Structure 1
Amino acid sequence: MPVTQDHSYVEDFAPGANVLPPRAWLDDDSAEIPLTGDWSFRLSASVADAPDDLKDPDTSGWDTIAVPGHWQLSGYGAPAYTNVVYPFPLEPPFVPTDNPTGDYVRTVTVPADWAGARVVLRFEGVDSRFAVHVNGELAGWSSGSRLPSEFDVTDLVAPGKEARIAVRVHQWSAGSYVEDQDMWWLSGIFREVNLLALRPGAPTDVFVHASYADGTGTLSVDSDVAGTVVVPELGLEFATGDEVTAAVEPWSAESPRLYDGVVRTEGGDVRLRIGFRTVAIADGVLTVNGNRVLFNGVNRHEFHPDRGRALTEQDMLDDVLLMKRAGINAVRTSHYPPHPHFLALCDEYGLYVIDECDLETHGFGYEPQPPKLPNPVMDPRFRDDLVARMARTVHRDKNHPSIIIWSLGNECGMGENLKAMYDLAKEIDPSRPVHYERDTEADFVDIYSRMYTDPAGCAEIGADSSLYRNLPFILCEYGHAMGNGPGGLLDYREVFDKYPRCQGGFIWEWIDHGLRTTIDGREVYAYGGDFGETIHDGNFVCDGLLFPDRTPSPGMLEYVKVIEPLRIVADGNGAVSIANRYEVLDTSRLTFTYVVEVEGSQVDAGELSVPAIAPGATATVSLPAVDASKPETWVTVTASLTAATAWAEAGHRIAWGQLRLDQPAGRPAPGSEVGSAPATNVVAGVDGIGFGVVKNARLDVWRAPIDNDAIPGVADAWREQGLHRVQHRIVSQGERDGAWEVVTRTAPPQLQWGLVSTWRWTPVDGGVVLDLDVVPEGRFPEVLPRLGVTFELPKVERVEWFGTGPNEAYVDTREAAAVGKYSATVAELQTPYVRPQENGHRIDTRWATLDGLRIEAVGGTLFGLTVRDWSTQALESATHTAELTPSDTTYVTLDIAQTGVGTAACGPALPDRDKLKTAPAHLTVKFFG
């Protein structure tokens, strides 16, 4: 391909010019000079403004910028976030004239002993298109932002002398049309740059083929330079290209056994990390080494709140360790190949990987547009680039045993270019299946995939082998973890357990992409629009299981509980059933303990004797004799690591289950097993007067909309029904039958419906009992956000409670909530979602003390507890958590019930079971002051 000195390459459909063929990422003997660190930098507003001086630029007046990094996070320009839409007109291959262009320059001395070597300049990732000049000569240009590019610069440098490297990077290019992934638009050299010396006679590309069956591993290694393969631990020594067998331990995510090997040639060595495993599909089930895989996975963008996609090795290790400790066993690399070091960590620690090509064209839509504007996957002009992207993905990553599936890309509709990519992937590597979700009829993929299908839809696919060629079925995205959520995850797990063909899925997504910045003097995590973008998708970029600082969200804790590898439940009187959900591990490495508590206070504890339970097997284990005559007697059984592993310390909790012992067999009370769906069929509202320090008690039917309320329009419908602005009227009040009785009506302006509440305040020793009855009247809404009593207290510092905890829980996010006695400050009760919204609810509370005030549920009723230092109105109006300032008043809500949280921001609507249907309701609580 011709290499030109002008900028026509910016709008060229080709993937690059003078770029070396793709090859595997290798740990070899090549001499290497890292070019990370400070580079001279200059940013021009457009290509036209960029001076034509890269042959010999005078950088004395330039700035300095760190590589790897993004220029928008280094003080040049601003980040911008869009999910689907392109921030420029759709007219491929053209891009705006205002195309920010960054010039990077640095010098490096080429060692004298590199004489005779082929000198290669390697870029691991540059966004979006760049041209390279070495000593004033154009070496070539490339695109494919999340893919490596190599240039042979042997003839452009001289060993023993300095070489000046100048890189011109363009924010927009023809390649931007196929990189419309749901993430921040960030530019620059964001992965490492290295200068390499490839010695004559040294391998530059190898392909490890290591399969497993019935205790035997089969190994061959292809190399572009013939040599000898040595695997000392197995006693193997054989020629490249030959095939040998040996007794081996297989590699899997649960037991990631790796063998060190080396390819030895006269020119140098290549070190190998070999994992023996076979991926196969039979009878609609994907297996690894013959074992069905259940993907308890996450979608992972590369992200750091300060560095964007320029991750450090420690960032990558942090992600892997968090995943392993959580019981996550799989990663989809949405929507591009990750840094190669991350894949090496997946090999070592054990994570199944769907490695996705650097491709998404979501902004074009899924079907052909007007004839002159086809989606790039349908446009023959993009064919070479897309096929090259797939080749670059497969070749770079082909030696990682953790990768068990290739993915063509994400949300591109359908087109012949995708079929060409599939064919190429299978030609290079027929050992792995290929995934692509938008092949909705499974015409050429090896796995059938969907996004956000509800559990019932998943069950239909699992039950009917005639659908979609009986391919294995996964949800490549589900459980959208935006804001308060995701809810209803247990429903999916039950489907995955029931139907072998339904092989799990990948939560969207791993981490909130909030960029740390300062707004109005406050440090916040920014989202779309916070940098002045005119086109953006708001906080839709914050939809992860982790907050931007990698702190687990309540949604993460819920997912951990749902996917835990052991299921511990009641099994008759005085026994527990322990089901082992592991693929290959038994339970011999785990220690089982129990704790018995009465009303939250420990009365007994010890270790359980549990036999080694084989994968897929279940055992019933008797519990020690327990006096279950006292109310609220609970036993919690925990399985923990007996010894430390590479990813967790001894004692790390793997799974747990909680059982209530003081209930008659077969008649558990709501919430008697953590995770059971409560039988709530209540709804209504409340209003009233105060008691002692309790001020402004009123019926509350509104919550600060969560993302799953706001984005699908549920909150808008609630507003149309006036739920956000109800008013309260005292109908009557006076003494009646020894109580002070107040009747109120709670209703919105103009509309002809209301909630009539009867509040009976009965004095008792040291306090008062509130009996509240709520009855709806008129054409009331079918569903309420919440139904409870909100009141105000003088500022409260600490809350103790007996109920579910320690973290927030709602009707459809209660799997991770254990019944116990807890204590926290009011600040600790808040969940800092990047966009403030309803949070902090503790479902099924029995009693709570707020400094000097104690509140108890009476008559077997339970309440949901929320305590804040700001009002719901303040919470709703805030755009970032830092805007919420504690006041001298504490706001307390005792909920009769609250609508579930679901995943409707990007997923199915909330099921009726989890909606708070308007109906007569009752609450009895006792206040001690």
Structure 2
Amino acid sequence: GTGDCKVEVFDKEGNLVAQSQGTQGVLEIQNVHLWQPLKAYLYDVKVTFGEDVYTLPYGVRTVRVEGTKFLINERPFYFKGYGRHEDTFPNGRGMNLPMNTKDMSLMKWQGANSFRTSHYPYSEEMMRLCDEEGFVVIDETTAVGVNLDFGGGANFNGQKIGTFDKEHGVQTQEHHKDVIRDLISRDKNHACVVMWSIANEPDSYSEGAYEYFAPLYELARELDPQKRPCTLISVQMAPPEKDCSAKLSDVICLNRYYGWYFGGPDLELPEQALRKELDYWKTLGKPVIFTEYGADTVMGMHDTTPVMYTEEFQVEYYKMNNRVFDDYDFVVGEQVWNFADFATSQSLLRVQGNKKGIFTRDRKPKLAAHYFRDRWHKIPDFEYKK
């Protein structure tokens, strides 16, 4: 269309509460209703340009980091929830709108309030649902395992990937910038998005990592008009003292498997190792979120003692980890890996897929689902740790 541009804001009752002419400007809403976690309030922003009209649901809220606190609307928020995958049975990666609603219902039944879009941007339909339901989202790019063979894990074959080489890494970094531009351009107006994840489990500790990632953080902060916090998700093999995310991230996000890949099945030594690592992160004075921790569990496998792969072991594993989290005031969130079992390529480590889900792939609850329902309903969304 052609003509003048007009922007109008309407509340839930359809009342006009703000308006402006032109393509740039500031809209002020008197007595604003804030978008709150699990208590969403959305305005309708109506943009008219000539004969064209577009309406955008929009929530008003603030997000910032202060010391070791993650503040939403100036109140310290505690993340309870999951790393997830867009994977369902029988649709696989295909769109399943009823299952989106089902998953949201199950998470809220447990008392969860957040998830990470591991490891890629989720569908616009899911993002809109999170806006409507007041669910908090850590929004992640498609970058997985950077300089670790892009496989979400270690480069065990010993071959040099070369992502951080000046000769070969420029093209990868430029594409990474494009991915960040696409993510923020699409999702910047979602109230549910409170933080950008630059990458999942990259090599954040080798020579050249800081030089690779620093411009990406700078770009994300430049592009986001709300200046939301930025992070990357640290892989367990990254030595904390060498991890560039310690300097670059507003929030330290850790994927840690003490008691499963590292130290299991005995949980005493893994607990000591986890506490030792957290003692180091405490010195940085930044908030920490555990964005992955979990244990593969086969539904229906039980034992009188908690042996690995049983539902009993999964519960004991989480009890140990959560006991540690509760002892550190700067730990501001726990996001379990994973919400539900999901399909993977076949390997010796996978029993018909990844079985770390708290629910099965068809959304039946394991024993740990009830454990977290009890735990999370006792933990308030705000002011959990004074």
For 1:480, which of 277, 292, 295 is the aligned residue?
295
TM-score (norm 1): 0.34
Aligned to 2:249: 445
For 1:385, which of 175, 183, 199 is the aligned residue?
175
Per-residue CA distance 1:701-741 (angstroms, 9 max, x = gap): xxxxxxxxxxxxxxxxxxxxxxxxxxxxxxxxxxxxxxxxx
Instruction: Output the CA distance in 2 between the equivalents of 1:502 and 1:235.
Output: 39
Shift of residue 355 of structure 1?
0.7
Shift of residue 499 of structure 1?
3.2
Instruction: Output the CA distance in 1 between the equivalents of 2:42 and 2:274.
Output: 35
- Whether the aligned pair in 2 keeps the contact of 1:387 and 1:417 (CA below 8 Å) is no
Aligned to 2:58: 274
Instruction: Output the CA distance in 1 between the equivalents of 2:319 and 2:359.
Output: 19
- Whether the aligned pair in 2 keeps the contact of 1:367 and 1:413 (CA below 8 Å) is no
Instruction: Output the CA distance in 2 between the equivalents of 1:249 and 1:490.
Output: 38
Instruction: Output the CA distance in 2 between the equivalents of 1:431 and 1:350.
Output: 20
Per-residue CA distance 1:880-913 (angstroms, 9 max, x = gap): xxxxxxxxxxxxxxxxxxxxxxxxxxxxxxxxxx
- Whether the aligned pair in 2 keeps the contact of 1:386 and 1:417 (CA below 8 Å) is no
- Whether the aligned pair in 1 keeps the contact of 2:64 and 2:70 (CA below 8 Å) is yes
Aligned to 1:506: 335
Shift of residue 501 of structure 1?
1.2
Runs of at least 5 residues in structure 2 that lack an aligned partner in the other structure: 259-269, 299-310
Per-residue CA distance 1:534-582 (angstroms, 9 max, x = gap): x66432522211111111121212221122236xxxxxxxxxxxxxx24
Shift of residue 249 of structure 1?
2.4
> Which has the larger share of helix?
2
Aligned to 2:356: 543
Per-residue CA distance 1:777-816 (angstroms, 9 max, x = gap): xxxxxxxxxxxxxxxxxxxxxxxxxxxxxxxxxxxxxxxx
Aligned to 1:410: 200
Instruction: Output the CA distance in 1 between the equivalents of 2:79 and 2:160.
Output: 41
Per-residue CA distance 1:435-468 (angstroms, 9 max, x = gap): 1023824121111122225555665676678623
Instruction: Output the CA distance in 1 between the equivalents of 2:137 and 2:36.
Output: 11
Superposed counterparts of 1:360-379, under 5 Å: 360-361=144-145, 362-363=148-149, 373-375=161-163, 379=169
- Whether the aligned pair in 2 keeps the contact of 1:296 and 1:504 (CA below 8 Å) is yes
For 1:237, which of 8, 15, 19 is the aligned residue?
19
Which one-letter code corresponds to 2:195 in the other structure? I
Go from structure 1 to structure 2 and tell me whether the alpha carbon gap of 1:497 and 1:541 turns closer, same or farther (over 3 Å shift): closer
Aligned-CA RMSD value: 3.0
**Greater Cα radius of gyration, structure 1 or 2:** 1
- Whether the aligned pair in 2 keeps the contact of 1:481 and 1:508 (CA below 8 Å) is no
- Whether the aligned pair in 1 keeps the contact of 2:202 and 2:233 (CA below 8 Å) is no
Per-residue CA distance 1:234-288 (angstroms, 9 max, x = gap): 6212235222242122212232122222122214122121211111111221110
Could you say what secondary structure the match of 2:30 adopts?
A: strand
Per-residue CA distance 1:64-110 (angstroms, 9 max, x = gap): xxxxxxxxxxxxxxxxxxxxxxxxxxxxxxxxxxxxxxxxxxxxxxx
Aligned to 1:435: 231
2:22 is aligned with 1:228: no
Go from structure 1 to structure 2 and tell me whether the alpha carbon gap of 1:289 and 1:459 turns closer, same or farther (over 3 Å shift): farther
Superposed counterparts of 1:185-334, under 5 Å: 200-201=1-2, 226-231=5-10, 232-233=14-15, 235-239=17-21, 240-243=23-26, 244-334=28-118
Could you say what secondary structure the match of 2:45 adopts?
A: strand
Q: Which has the higher contact order (CA 8 A, sep 6+)?
A: 2
Superposed counterparts of 1:431-830, under 5 Å: 431-438=227-234, 440-441=243-244, 442-452=246-256, 467-468=283-284, 470-483=285-298, 484=311, 485-514=314-343, 528-529=345-346, 537-539=349-351, 541-565=354-378, 581-583=380-382
Could you say what secondary structure the match of 1:256 adopts?
A: coil
Runs of at least 5 residues in structure 1 that lack an aligned partner in the other structure: 1-199, 203-224, 515-526, 530-534, 567-580, 584-614, 618-929
Per-residue CA distance 1:360-396 (angstroms, 9 max, x = gap): 1343666899786314798222122111111111111
Could you say what secondary structure the match of 1:487 adopts?
A: helix
Deviates more, 1:227-236 or 1:349-358: 227-236
- Whether the aligned pair in 1 keeps the contact of 2:296 and 2:354 (CA below 8 Å) is no
Aligned to 1:7: none
Aligned to 1:143: none
Instruction: Output the CA distance in 2 between the equivalents of 1:386 and 1:329.
Output: 29
Which one-letter code corresponds to 1:391 in the other structure? R
2:218 is aligned with 1:423: yes
Shift of residue 511 of structure 1?
1.2
Go from structure 1 to structure 2 and tell me whether the alpha carbon gap of 1:451 and 1:582 turns closer, same or farther (over 3 Å shift): closer
Go from structure 1 to structure 2 and tell me whether the alpha carbon gap of 1:283 and 1:310 turns closer, same or farther (over 3 Å shift): same
Go from structure 1 to structure 2 and tell me whether the alpha carbon gap of 1:284 and 1:616 turns closer, same or farther (over 3 Å shift): closer
- Whether the aligned pair in 2 keeps the contact of 1:353 and 1:405 (CA below 8 Å) is yes
Which one-letter code corresponds to 2:283 in the other structure? L
TM-score (norm 2): 0.77
Aligned to 1:357: 141
Instruction: Output the CA distance in 2 between the equivalents of 1:482 and 1:507.
Output: 13
Could you say what secondary structure the match of 2:108 adopts?
A: helix
Instruction: Output the CA distance in 1 between the equivalents of 2:293 and 2:134.
Output: 22
Per-residue CA distance 1:285-339 (angstroms, 9 max, x = gap): 1110111111111011001122210022112111111111111111011100111
- Whether the aligned pair in 2 keeps the contact of 1:253 and 1:351 (CA below 8 Å) is yes
Instruction: Output the CA distance in 2 between the equivalents of 1:371 and 1:490.
Output: 38
Which one-letter code corresponds to 1:501 in the other structure? F
- Whether the aligned pair in 1 keeps the contact of 2:5 and 2:50 (CA below 8 Å) is no
Instruction: Output the CA distance in 1 between the equivalents of 2:281 and 2:43.
Output: 39
Instruction: Output the CA distance in 1 between the equivalents of 2:102 and 2:122.
Output: 15
- Whether the aligned pair in 2 keeps the contact of 1:455 and 1:495 (CA below 8 Å) is yes
Instruction: Output the CA distance in 2 between the equivalents of 1:278 and 1:392.
Output: 23
Go from structure 1 to structure 2 and tell me whether the alpha carbon gap of 1:349 and 1:481 turns closer, same or farther (over 3 Å shift): farther
Shift of residue 434 of structure 1?
0.9
Aligned to 2:266: none
Which one-letter code corresponds to 1:437 in the other structure? I
Could you say what secondary structure the match of 2:248 adopts?
A: coil
Go from structure 1 to structure 2 and tell me whether the alpha carbon gap of 1:421 and 1:201 turns closer, same or farther (over 3 Å shift): farther
Go from structure 1 to structure 2 and tell me whether the alpha carbon gap of 1:251 and 1:467 turns closer, same or farther (over 3 Å shift): same
- Whether the aligned pair in 1 keeps the contact of 2:231 and 2:248 (CA below 8 Å) is no
Go from structure 1 to structure 2 and tell me whether the alpha carbon gap of 1:259 and 1:480 turns closer, same or farther (over 3 Å shift): farther
Go from structure 1 to structure 2 and tell me whether the alpha carbon gap of 1:456 and 1:330 turns closer, same or farther (over 3 Å shift): farther
How many residue pairs get aligned? The number is 333
Instruction: Output the CA distance in 2 between the equivalents of 1:228 and 1:349.
Output: 25
Aligned to 1:394: 184
Per-residue CA distance 1:146-199 (angstroms, 9 max, x = gap): xxxxxxxxxxxxxxxxxxxxxxxxxxxxxxxxxxxxxxxxxxxxxxxxxxxxxx
Could you say what secondary structure the match of 2:161 adopts?
A: coil
Q: Percent identity?
A: 24
Could you say what secondary structure the match of 2:297 adopts?
A: coil
